[in-house]
């Protein structure tokens, strides 16, 4: 069964003029499973959008870390 997922790249989160955050959406015609992990001891939640290897991570707000692949696609 095929599903659809909406992906968001790091470049799509802000535009070049710095005004607001633009959203660029890409539709992937494949089944995607999101994995959610809860660590009660650390009071943390992790949502993994893909099994692709993590290339880079960025802390966008205190306690909020985004993981990206080597093409700057959001992974978790």
Total structural domains within the chain: 1
Distance of alpha carbon 27 from alpha carbon 44, whole angstroms: 29
Alpha-carbon distance of 57 to 60, in angstroms, equals 9
Task: Report yes or no on 9 lying in a domain.
Answer: yes
Q: Within a domain: residue 40?
A: yes
Please give the pLDDT value at position 50.
87
Q: pLDDT of 25-76, one tens digit each?
A: 454 545 567 899 999 998 999 999 888 999 999 999 999 999 999 998 889 9
75 assigned to some structural domain: no
The answer to whether residue 54 is domain-embedded is yes
Q: For residue range 47-56, list pLDDT tens digits in order.
A: 998 889 999 9
Q: Are 1 and 31 in contact (CB under 8 A)?
A: yes
Provide the residue range defining the domain that includes 62: 4-68
Whether 76 is in a domain gets the answer: no
Q: Domain for residue 11, yes or no?
A: yes
């Amino acid at each position: 069964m095929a599903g659809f997922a909406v992906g968001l790249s790091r470049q799509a989160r802000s535009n070049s003029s710095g005004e607001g955050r633009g959203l660029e959406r890409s539709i992937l015609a494949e089944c995607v499973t999101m994995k959610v992990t809860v660590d009660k001891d650390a009071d943390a939640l992790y949502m993994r959008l893909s099994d692709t290897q993590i290339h880079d991570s960025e802390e966008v707000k205190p306690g909020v870390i985004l993981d990206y692949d080597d093409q700057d696609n959001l992974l978790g």
